[in-house]
Amino acid sequence: MSAQAQYQPVTDARLLNPEPGNWLMWRRTYDNWGYSPLNKINTSNVSRLVPVWAFSTGVTQGHEAPPIVNGNFMYITAPYNKLYALNARTGQLIWKYERQLPNDVVTCCDVVNRGVALYGDKVFMGTLDAHLIAFDARTGKIVWDVTVEDYKTRHTITSPPVVAKGKVITGVHGGEFGVRGFLAAYDPNTGKQLWKTYTTAADDSWPGDSWKNGGASTWLTGSYDPRTNTLFWGTSNPSPWMDAARDPDKHDLRWTVSVLGFDPDTGRIKSSFQYSPNDAWDYDGVNEQILITLNNRPTLISAHRNGYLYNLDRTGGGLRFVNAFKYAYANIYKSIDRNGRPVWNPEHRPDIGKTVNACPSFLGGKNWNPAAYSPQTGLVYIPSNDWCMDIRGAQVQYTAGEAFVGAEFEMNVVPGLNHVGALRAVNPATGRIVWEQKFRAPLWGGVLTTAGGLVFTGTLDDRGFHAFDARSGRKLWSFTTNSGVIGVPMSYEVGGTQYIAVYSGFGGAIPLWAGPVAKLTQNVPMGGVLWVFAVR
C-alpha cells in the first residue's frame, strides 16, 4: 500500500482525543499543554538520543514552526510560506508547495510561518499575503484558496488556524500597521467564510472612532475548551502604541491586550479579560492560553509579556481574574489589584515625548514561543527573558499600509544580570520558581514536555537543543545544531519508535528589533534545518 493510501483522515473525535503517537495540531491538544504522552525516551535513556535524519529548507530567515504528524505524514512549513510533506520515518519528501508571494508584501517581524492545521483529508495554511489555503493532504493539490483580508493594508497570517467543531478558524497579524483585528471561521470543504468577529470594541473606551485602526490583532493560535464550547484567543497591542488623544483614566482601548472567549459556532464574544488596559508598552496579550484544572477549578494560565503569570477562572467559558505571579524581571507595575487591573508605576510608563526605562522590554518576559505544562509535575515551563528598554512615545497619524507604531525604543540588558534568557519551571498555583536554567542570549524557542519526565527547548548562544529533567531541571542531554533554535519541539511515534523533532534556524523578531541586545546573537549562523532524533 502506498504512503498516500495510508493517510488517515483527521476527525473531530481524533482532534479531541489524539493518539499518543500523533501530533495533529500546533500544541498537540486543544488545551495548549505542549505535552507528549510518549515515554520511550525518558530520563534513563535520553543521553543516547542521536539525530536520525534532517531536512534543510535552504532558507535563512526564522524557522518557528513545529512539525505536524499524522501517521507516516509529517507537514512542516518554512519562511515565505513554503510547505513540505515528508515521510515521518525517513524524512523523504512526499510533496512540496512554495508560494509565489507578491513583491510588495510587508511584514512586521520577519517572514515566518508557524505551521499548519489538519482536518479531514486536508492541510490548512495561512499566508503572508493574508490568504487561507486548503491542500489535499495526500498530494499537495490546492483544494481552495481564499483571501482573508487585503495584504496591502498589511494584514498577514503567520500562525496556524484552529479547527473546532468542523470550522477552520484563523486570526491575523498587523498590529504595527493599524489593522482592525478579527477572527474568522471557514468551511473546511469549500473555503466559504462562516463568520467574522472584530476584536476592537466600537465603544467609548476609545477616543473617537480610533477603534477602526486600533490593532488587537489575533496573530497567535488560540486554545479550545470543548466542555464549554469556548475558543480562547489573545489580542495584540493597540495601534499605535501611544496616542496623545488617549486619556489613561478613560480609555481602556477594549479589547486590545486581552484574552477573549468566543463561541466557535457563531463567533460571538462571550467572555473577556484585559491584561493591560490602555497599554503603552506593546505588551501583546496573544501569548498561549494553557487550560488546566487548578485547585479543582477550570483555569486558564498564561505567561504574559508584562512578566506576570496569570490564573483566570474559566468556569462555564467565563474569564475571571484569580491571581498573577511575577515570573520575569519587571518594574512597570506597582501591583495588580483584586480585579486583575495593573497599578502602573508612573516612573516606568512612557508617553508622547516622555522617555522611561521599562522592564520587560516590548518583546516581553515571554513572547510567542510557547511554554509547556506537564501533568506529571503540575509545573509550567516558561521560556523567559529578563530585559528592558528605553521607550518614548511619538505622535503618528494613520496611513493605510504604513507603519503605525507611535514609539521610539532601544532594548538593553538588566543591570547586574549576566543573562537574558531563562527556562523557568513555575508552580502555577503559588508562583514559586521551582528551578531555572539561565542563558546569556535571549530564549526564543518553544518548550516540549513529555511523559518520559523530560523538558526540551533550544537556545541561541550555543546553537543548542537541550533536554532537562522535568522535576529537578538538571540538564541530561544537549546537541549542537546548525543555527540558533527558535522552533517549537514536538514528539511523535512511527513504527514503534519515538522521535523528537525541532527546527534550528535563527531569525524572527530578535535580529530585527532587539537593538543592542541582538549583539548577543550576532555570531549565530543562519539557515533552517529540521532535526529529528531517536534513541540508539
Kind of pairing between the strands at 35-36 and 447-450: parallel
Sequence-separated (6 or more) residues with CB below 8 Å from residue 56: 527, 528, 529, 530
Q: Where are the alpha helices (DSSP H) in 393-479?
A: none
CA dihedral 443, 304, 233, 268 (to 10 degrees): -170
CA dihedral 423, 428, 430, 432 (to 10 degrees): -10
As a whole number of angstroms, the distance between CA 114 and CA 126 comes to 9
Contact 122, 87 (CB under 8 A): no
**Could you tell me which residues are beta bridge partners of residue 225?**
230
Could you tell me the CA-to-CA distances from 441 to 233, 381, 458, 475 in Å, in that order? 29, 18, 11, 18
As a whole number of angstroms, the distance between CA 52 and CA 50 comes to 6
| AA identity, residue 272 | S
Report DSSP state, residue 525: P
Q: What stretch of H or E contains 141?
A: none
Other CB atoms closer than 10 Å to residue 480's CB: what's the count? 9
* Residues noted as catalytic: 282
End-to-end CA distance of the chain: 28
Q: Which of 404, 443, 400 is nearest to 422 (CA)?
A: 443
Find how far residue 37's CA is from the centre of its chain. 21
Which of helix, strand or coil describes residue 215?
Answer: strand
Q: For the chain, how many residues are written?
A: 536
The strand ranges marked E within 266-362 are 269-274, 290-294, 297-303, 308-313, 320-326, 333-336, 342-344, 355-358
Cell numbers 492560553 correspond to 289
Sequence-separated (6 or more) residues with CB below 8 Å from residue 510: 363, 442, 444, 460, 517, 518, 521
The set of cell numbers assigned to 282 is: 506593546
* Share in percent of the chain as helix, strand, coil (round to 5): 5, 40, 55
As a whole number of angstroms, the distance between CA 387 and CA 137 comes to 42
As a whole number of angstroms, the distance between CA 531 and CA 328 comes to 30
Sequence-separated (6 or more) residues with CB below 8 Å from residue 354: 392, 393
Q: Which of 2, 297, 15, 33 is nearest to 161 (CA)?
A: 15
